[in-house]
Structure 1
Amino acid sequence: MWFKNLHLYRLHETPDIALEALEEALGDQAHRPLGGSEARRLGWCAPAGRHGNRHVHEVQGQRLLTALRQERLLPAGVVREEVETRAADREVAEGRPLPRKEKQALKEQVYEEFLPRAFVRSQRIELWWDTRRALIGVNASSRKRAEEILDLLRQTLGSLKVTPLATRTTPIRAMTTWLNDTATRPPMLMLGDQVELKAQGDDGVLRARQVDLDSDEIQTVLAGGRQATKLAMELEGQLSLVLHDDLALKSLRFADALLDEASQTDDGDDAVLRLETDFALMTQTLSAVIEQLIEWLGGEAQAATPTP
C-alpha cells in the first residue's frame, strides 16, 4: 500500500467528524458495481480489500480512505468505424448523403449499444487525511484524478474547504537554484538523475534521465534561461522522489531500511494489522519529508480560504 505519488492539500476549517460518523458517511457513498449503461462510477471501498469491510482506518490521527474508480473502455476508433459503416449503408439504402445531425444521432446510438459490452477498468486511489496537521494527500497519478477524490469526499461530508498546498518559494525557483548553485542545496538533499527543464516561450521542454545533474551540459542548458519543472531528489534515509512544479511528489521510493522495518514487524498474518503498520510507518516518513520540503521552500504560503 506504499504510495507512489502524492498530491497535497491544506484543509481549512477542518471538519470535526468522529471516526464512527465518518465510517457511516463513507458507507453511504460506498462504491457499487457499474450498471450496464454507466460509463464510470466512483465510490468508497475498504482499504484492506477483501480482508476487511471498514471504509476508514485511523492510526495516531492518520486516516486512510480508499476510493474505487471504474470506467468502461470504449475506444473512439471502434465507435467511429461502426458509425461510418452504418452511415454508408443508410446512404446507399436511402440514396442521399446523411446529414450531420443524423450522423450524430447514429453515433449516440452506437455508443449506447456498445457501452454495456465494453471492458471495465478499475483503479483504487488512496487518500491520506492527517487530522493533526490538517493536511490531505492523495495517491493519484494526476491532479485531475486527485480532485475527483476530493469532490467525492466533499460530497460525502457535505462540505470540504481545501486548497493545494503552496509554499512561499515556488518549486520552480528552488529547483532551478539548487541545480545552478550547489552551495544552496540543503544538507540532507541529494539530487537524483532525472530533470525536466522548460524554456520561456515556445522552445519546448528538455527531459533528461540517467544523467549527472551537475554536469557541464546541464549547466550550459540552465545558462540559456531554462528552469527546472521536475527534479529527482533523495532525502537520505527516508525516500527518493521527483518534485514537480505544482508541488506534487511523484515516483516515490521509500528507503530500504524503512521497508525492512515494516517487513520485520510481527503482524501474526493479520492483513489489517499489516496495512495499518505499513500506513503508520509510511505517514510518519511522509510527514517528516513534507515538513522538510516546506522549510526548504521558504515556509507555507497563506492561501485564501475556499468556498465549501
Structure 2
Amino acid sequence: MWFKHCHLYRCHDTEVLSLEDLETALAEFAFRPVSPREARRVGWSAPAGRRSEQRVHEIQGHRLLSMLRQERLLPAAVVNDEVNERSEARELSEGQPLSRRERQLLKEQVMEELLPQAFTRTQRVELWWDTRTRLIGINASSRKRAEEVLDLLRQTLGSLKVTPLATKTPPSRGMTQWLSDPGSRPASLLLGDQVELRAAEDDGVLRARQVDLDSEEIQSLLENGRQASQLSLGSEGQLRVMLHDDLALKSLQFDDALLDEASQSDSGEDPIVSLETDFALMSQTLATFVAQLIEWLGGEADPATPTP
C-alpha cells in the first residue's frame, strides 16, 4: 500500500464531496472485467482488494482511492504477422496488391478475431487526496497513467479542476543549484548518491549511482553547463525520493522508523485496520514532505488555468 511513486496535482475545486456522496459516485464507475471484445477497461475498486467493498478510505482529511486497469495483451507482431499472411493470400488469389484501405480493414478484422483469445493484465493504481490542502498524489510510474486516473475521477465527479503541481523555482534549476553550491541547500535536505545530468545541448544524458555528488567530477560536469534532471534526496525521519524535473517523486523509500511503527501497529487480524494504519502514516509523511519540498523550491507557482 505504501506508494512507490507519486505524481502531484493541485486541485482547484473549493467544494469537497462528502464521503457518502463520493462512495456513491465511485460505485457508479466500479470496475468490471473486460469483455471478450474490449481491449481495455478501467474502474474503481476497493483499496483493500477482495477483503472489502469500501471504495474510499478517509483518515483525518486524507482520502485513498484505487483504480483497476485491465487490458488484453495482443502483441503488434502477432497482429502484423497474421495480416501479412492473409494479405499475401488475397493478393495471390486476386492477382493484385491490396490498397491501404483494404489492408487497414483486414487489420481491424484480425484484431477483432484475436482479441477474445488474448490474455489479460490487471494493474492497480492508488490515488491519495489531501482534502485539507487540495493536493492529489497518484502512485503511478508514468505521467500518462496518472492522467488516466484523473480522467476517470473527472468522469466520476462530473468535473475536476486540477493542474500539475508547480513551484516558483523549477526543479531542474533548484537541483542544479543544490549540487553546485552546497551552501544553498536547505538545512533539512538530505542529499543522496544518485543523479541524472543533461547537457544544455543535445549531448546525451549522464546517470551516476552510488557516487559522491560533491566530488570534483560532478562539479566539473556542472561547471561545463550540465543541468540536473533527476536527483536523489530526502528528509530525516520521513523518506527518500528521486526528484524529477517535472516534480514527480520516484522510487520512494519511507524511513525505517515509519515502517516499524506500521508493523508494530499491525495485529494482522483486521486487514482494513492494517490498510488504514499504513495509509495514515504514509499520507501524513507525504503531506509534510511535499510542503517542505515546495518551500525548498521557493514556494508554489501560480497555477495555469485548469480545465474542468
**TM-score, with length taken from structure 2:** 0.97
Partner residue in 2 for 1:98: 98
User: For 1:48-99, what per-residue CA distance to the aligned partner results, in whole angstroms no more than 9, with x for missing partners?
Assistant: 1011001100111110000001111111111111111111111222222222
Secondary structure of the structure 1 residue equivalent to 2:206? strand
Aligned length: 308
Residues 63 and 129, structure 1, Cα contact 8 Å, conserved in 2: yes
Q: Give the aligned partner of residue 24 of structure 1.
A: 24
Partner of 2:4: 4
Contact map agreement 1:79 1:107 (CA 8 A) in 2 = yes
Q: What per-residue deviation string (whole Å, max 9, x for no partner) do you get for residues 20-57 of structure 1?
A: 11000000000111011111111100001011001100
Distance in 2 (CA, whole Å) between partners of 1:209 and 1:124 is 30
Matches within 5 A, 1:254-265: 254-265=254-265
1:79 aligned partner: 79
Q: Describe how 1:265-304 pairs up with structure 2 within 5 A.
A: 265-267=265-267, 269-304=269-304
Q: SS where residue 263 of structure 1 aligns?
A: helix
For 1:125, the aligned partner's letter is V
Aligned to 2:114: 114
Structure 1 position 268, deviation (Å):
5.4
Superposition pairs of residues 199-210 of structure 1, within 5 angstroms: 199-210=199-210
> Distance between the aligned counterparts of 1:291 and 1:193, measured in 2?
23
Paired residues of 2:16 and 2:131 also in contact (CA < 8 A): no
* Deviations 1:176-201 (CA, angstroms, capped at 9, x unpaired): 00110111111221221211111122
Cα distance in 2 for partners of 1:32, 1:154 equals 19
- Report the CA distance between 1:266 and its aligned residue: 4.5
Q: Contact conserved, 1:41 with 1:70, CA < 8 A, in 2? A: yes
Tell me, in whole angstroms, the C-alpha distance in 2 between the residues paired with 1:230 and 1:268: 38
CA distance in 1, matches of 2:63, 2:160: 16
Which residue does the alignment assign to 2:141?
141
1:144-163 matched pairs, under 5 angstroms: 144-163=144-163
Cα distance, 1:278 vs structure 2: 0.3
Moved over 6 A (4+): none
Q: Deviations over 1:139-163 (max 9, x none)?
A: 1111111111111111111111111
* Larger deviation, residues 195-204 vs 118-127: 195-204
Report the AA paired with residue 165 of structure 2: L
Q: Is 1:253 paired with 2:263?
A: no
Give the secondary structure class of the aligned counterpart of 1:123: strand
Per-residue CA deviations over 1:274-308 (Å, capped at 9, x if unaligned) read 00000000011111101110110001111134131
Residue by residue over 1:121-177, the C-alpha shift from the partner in whole angstroms, topping out at 9 and shown as x without a partner, is 111000011011111111111111111111111111111111111111110111000
The 3-state SS of whatever aligns with 1:258 is helix
Q: 1:20 to 1:85 in 2, by over 3 A?
A: same
Instruction: Return 104-113 or 263-272, whichever deviates more.
Output: 263-272
Cα separation, 2, equivalents of 1:150 and 1:94: 49
- Matched letter for residue 282 of structure 1: M
Q: Deviations over 1:92-132 (max 9, x none)?
A: 22222222222111111111111111111111000011011
More divergent stretch after superposition (12-21 vs 38-47): 12-21
Secondary structure at the aligned position of 1:194 is classed as strand
Answer whether contact 1:12 1:305 (CA < 8 A) is retained.
no
Contact (CA 8 Å) 1:59, 1:276: kept in 2 or not? yes
CA distance in 2, matches of 1:98, 1:167: 54
| Greater mean alpha carbon deviation, residues 11-20 or residues 240-249 | 11-20
Q: Which runs of no fewer than 5 residues in structure 1 stay unpaired?
A: none
1:55 equivalent in structure 2: 55
- Alignment-derived partner of residue 178 in structure 1: 178
1:42 equivalent to 2:42? Answer yes
Task: Calculate percent identity across the aligned residue pairs.
Answer: 68
Contact 1:161 1:306 in 2 (8 A): yes
The TM-score with structure 1 as length reference comes to: 0.97
Q: Aligned equivalents of 2:90 and 2:268: distance in 1?
A: 67
Where 2:240 maps in the other structure, the secondary structure is strand
SS at match of 2:80: helix
